[in-house]
Amino acid sequence: MLGFVIVFLTILSLSSFVFLVSSSIFAPRGSVQWHEIGPGADESDFTTGFVVPKRRTQDHRGPPAFIFPDGWPSNHVNDSGVSCNTFPRVIHQTWKDGKTMPIRFKQWMASWFEHQPEWRHVLYDDRALEALVAEHFPEWLAKYKRLRGVEKADLGRMLVVFVRGGVYVDVDFESIKSLGPLLDEAEKRCRGVILSEETLVHSYLLERHSEQDRPFVSNAFIAAAPEQPFVKAFLHRVLDKRLRKGLPTYRDPVTSGSRELTKLVHEVLKVNDGSLGSIWVLPFNVMFPEICQWNVGAMREKCVGDRPVHSLRDMEWAIKGCPMLAAAMANTSAFFDDTTLAVHHWQCSWCPGREHSARDETFVVAAELPDMRVA
């Protein structure tokens, strides 16, 4: 009888052990807390932009809200004992006329209310942006009035986030998940400005950048605490440079857009002395997983299928860019992953030939988006 009891207890113990092991292996993902990893231990991960978790630990407080990639943080962090920055929970957007807008933007703008229902949402038209300059930067007003329409929009978004803080997104940006956890993490890390790399396909095939040129930053998204020195430095640089050179034609990426912003980002990441605050540049999968369809022709002419044309066969940017373009053409969601919070749909309303026409179907902002405050 005693032998039977011993055998029974042994079987019971083994069964419990197997159950515990299998439970830990096949536990739902929400029971595991994934920790952050930066641009990658492995170049293939870094090249594709996909974030691979570095380690995991048990956490019974619930599922993680977001996998936070390091991207490109500046090394300087506020360690002076002063409290870290606070990002206002507000979505800022701009359009030349705050009363009516092209219907194609309505669903994307509404998505920000869906995923950030407790936040404030503000739309600025041209007059509101000019009033902001007059109130807070009267010494800039004469210069600002000399800028062309989309130049004012480029500077206007920076003025808004400098004065009021919060998140600026273009009206052709769609929210996929809440940005709340991202801002929480930035505050925990004492970051003052959050930016995002533009899709690598553009960086390689349009900008002809190699790996060491990363990140190429877009100005379609910027989050900042109020009065960040990085943002003010960008405003000063663009106004002084644009008006001093007196460029005869407007070229957004060159004078006031992404290329000028990228230059300043690289200066901050290189110097890292804290004089322009602390920034955080996210990998492209987070905010820019899609490519711009109207630029596909300019990119495809550099490739044959997933390989560079013969004349570019030795170029690193073409070798890396062509397979990514082929993947994006085969599947528009190819570069979406668990880190993706939003997607830019690249309407390029400022581009020649793509401007809003009086024939376009429109919607009334106050009627269709009643919770949107028009400044």
Does residue 216 belong to any structural domain of this protein?
Answer: yes
Same domain, yes or no, for 201 and 131? yes
Token pair for 315: 């170029």
Q: How confident is the model at residue 67 (pLDDT cuts 50, 70, 90)?
A: low
Mean pLDDT of the region 63-80:
58
Shared domain for 209 and 136, answered yes or no, is: yes
Element (H, E) at 15: helix 2-25
Question: Kind and range of the H or E element at 166?
Answer: strand 166-169
Q: What is the mean pLDDT of residues 37-63?
A: 29
- Asked whether the predicted pLDDT for residue 339 surpasses 60, the reply is yes
Q: Is the pLDDT of residue 190 over 60?
A: yes
The model's pLDDT over 206-259, given as tens digits with 9 standing for 90+, comes to 999 999 999 999 999 999 999 999 999 999 888 877 666 555 444 444 456 889
Judge whether residue 8 has pLDDT over 50: no
Six-digit token pair at 9? 């207890």
Residue 169 lies in a domain: yes
Would you say the C-alpha torsion 202, 203, 207, 211 has a positive or negative sign? Answer: negative
Query: Are both 51 and 106 inside the same structural domain?
Result: no
Angle ∠(78,83,85) on CA atoms, nearest 5:
75
Q: How far is CA 30 from CA 52, 178, 338, in A?
A: 17, 17, 13
Picking from 64, 99, 117, the residue at the C-terminal end of a domain is 64
Whether residue 169 is found in the same domain as residue 240:
yes
- 72 found inside a domain: no
Length of the chain: 375
**Contact call for residues 235 and 159 (beta carbons, < 8 A):** yes
Higher pLDDT, 317 or 51: 317
- State which of 10, 38, 64 marks the end of a domain: 64
Task: Assign 330 a pLDDT band (cuts: 50, 70, 90).
Answer: very high
Please report the pLDDT score of residue 5 as a whole number. 44
Residues 169 and 131 in one domain: yes
Whether 347 and 266 map to the same domain: the answer is yes
Asked whether residue 71 is domain-assigned, the answer is no
Band of the pLDDT at 102, cuts 50, 70, 90? very high
User: In the prediction, which pLDDT does 153 show?
Assistant: 83
Residue closest to 210 by CA, chosen among 50, 310, 320: 320
201 and 323, same structural domain? yes
Residue 134 lies in a domain: yes
In sequence order, the 6+-apart residues with CB closer than 8 A to the CB of 52 are 37, 40, 42, 45
Mean pLDDT, rounded, for 345-349: 82
Q: Which domain holds residue 3?
A: 1-64
Q: Which among 80, 90, 147, 148 is positioned nearest to 124, based on CA atoms?
A: 90
Is 243 within the bounds of a domain? yes
* 73 domain residue, yes or no: no
What per-residue confidence (pLDDT) applies to 50?
Answer: 27
The predicted pLDDT at position 371 comes to 93
Q: Of the given ranges (68-77, 179-188, 312-321, 349-358), which has the lowest mean pLDDT?
A: 349-358
Selection from 190, 228, 229, 224 nearest residue 77 by Cα: 190
Check pLDDT > 80 for residue 139: yes
Structural domain includes residue 200: yes
How far apart are the C-alpha atoms of 263 and 273, rounded to whole Å? 16
Share the mean pLDDT of the chain. Answer: 79
Q: Are both 45 and 82 inside the same structural domain?
A: no
Q: Do 105 and 157 have their domain in common? A: yes
Shared-domain flag, residues 226 and 268? yes
Task: Give Rg (Cα) of the chain.
Answer: 24
Are 59 and 89 members of one domain? no
Average pLDDT value for residue range 83-106: 91
Cross-strand partners of 37: 69
How many domains does one find in the chain?
A: 2
Fill in the DSSP letter of residue 350. Answer: T
Question: In this predicted model, what pLDDT tens digit does every residue of 154-181 receive, in sequence order?
Answer: 889 999 999 999 999 999 999 999 999 9
Q: Same domain, yes or no, for 29 and 83?
A: no
* Residue 220 in tokens: 């379609």
- CATH code, 139: 3.90.550
Residue 354's pLDDT is what? 53
pLDDT above 80 for 315: yes
